[in-house]
Amino acid sequence: MSNAATYSVPFWINGEEYTPEKQYDVISPVTGKAIHRSGAASDADVKKAVEAADKAFKTWKTTLPKERRDVFMRAAEIFERRKEELGDYMMMETGAPRQWADFNLGVAKDFCLDISGRIRTLEGTIPTTADPDTGAMIIKEPFGVILAIAPWNAPYILGIRSVLFPIAAGNTAILKGSEACPRTMWGLCSVFHEAGLPAGVLNMIVHSPQDAPRITANLIAEPAVKKINFTGSTVVGRIIGRLAGEQLKPVLLELGGKAPAIVWEDADLDNAAFQCALGAFLNSGQICMSTERILVHKNIKPEFEKKFVAAIDQIFGSAPDAPILINSAAVTKNKALVRDALAKGGKLLYGDVDAVEKSDTRMKPMVINNGNTDMELYQTESFGPSVTLYEIETEEEALRMANDTEYGLTSAVFTEDLRRGLRFAKEIETGAVHINSMTVHDESALPHGGAKASGYGRFNTATGMGEWVRTKTITYKF
């Protein structure tokens, strides 16, 4: 591909690449300059994508499980073969390091392999009815056209799960990719078309940033669109939920988080420090599952602080430059939250809020000590490389602080007493609790989703497959 800003990323509509007349510049957070252009969807493009998906659904829903399986198995091979190319797109558009891009692609490949073995698990039942002369069957059938909306921060993981499970269940899909990484989303869809997915089963469009509200609303309002999934911020998730509710359409939402990690006095502190550092600063904290609150027992807090600083240095300290965030606004937000925390009694345990970096999209990890409930950081999702330490003394206090948030996506507990860990796990109001490992954990073998304002519904596993079929009752007389 050409790196010139004159190159324009096309859409995928009805199995073909399509470059619309309207376009916008895609700005790299690495250079701050336009790296290429992308098509920007119009109202007419929305219609084209929906019509293509609706037409393809008529035949795709009748395909045999082995036909779908073979496509996904080939896709897994292609993800491996094109790993470097696809990773380059993600690194260029989002500023991700190579390790994060490779991890994304490894998970994408694993999703393809996992779903290949799950396709046949969708089953109905034959119940016994009240009338002996009446038979019945309960079947599972696909909805139709699915609208999938995926973000930029883990585009291959979040993009593939948004469309793979619906398609595997017999639906067709429109992927509304992030305007920040259209080439990455194009690359994801190109894998499935290369693998032999029939025309119209997977379509992809993006819009310019200013057109987001109109294009999204139009897609949701299209009669052929039967269900929506969205991964992103809680603010936008509320809008998606409202728009879908107005159309009486079901929606799966995986939204923001404020993940707590409880470090109890009997914890393996080396492991806790290492896992909390990874959980807080992986991908510069730009993960919905990132550790944002670390609740440390007062008896071991001084020792944990030393080990935590050492772990951050071990993992991230050797990098010559500060990590890259998606844009300068993310850096501005995080530094403002840190300054507010310092003004309200916090102390910097790690980092320098006044550091001048190579560009305004770079920021090194920052750790605020002596956190309290008056700080904006206590409730606000930073979605960046900042984390706060709080002191706790009792299980009741730890649970109160862990649950004192509108979010409920994921959490972690560090203790050598499994009974205590399970006791915490049952009371923490999150979709997942990880005992003795970091808050960031998503894999094909585990259901993924949140509680409270972190959304509802589940991706992955048989539960995730079940999201994309509806139940139909059929009765008949003997």
Q: Which residues are catalytic?
A: 254
Contact 235, 453 (CB under 8 A): no
Contact 145, 224 (CB under 8 A): yes
With CA atoms as reference, report the closest residue to 20 among 1, 3, 44. Answer: 44
Spatial CB neighbours of 346, under 8 Å, sequence gap ≥ 6: 338, 368, 369, 370, 371, 372, 375, 388
Contact 212, 188 (CB under 8 A): no
**Token pair 């690495």: residue:** 30
Spatial CB neighbours of 336, under 8 Å, sequence gap ≥ 6: none
Element (H, E) at 146: strand 145-149
With CA atoms as reference, report the closest residue to 67 among 252, 160, 201, 181. Answer: 201
CA 65 from centroid of its chain's CA atoms: 27
Please provide the DSSP assignment of 235-303 as one string: HHHHHHHHHHHHTT--EEEE----EEEEE-TTS-HHHHHHHHHHHHHGGGG-STT-EEEEEEETTTHHH
Question: What's the rounded Cα separation, in Å, for the pair 79 and 156?
Answer: 10
With CA atoms as reference, report the closest residue to 225 among 393, 50, 357. Answer: 50
The residue length of the chain stands at 478
SS3 at position 390: strand
Spatial CB neighbours of 177, under 8 Å, sequence gap ≥ 6: 150, 155, 159, 184, 185, 186, 204, 205, 206
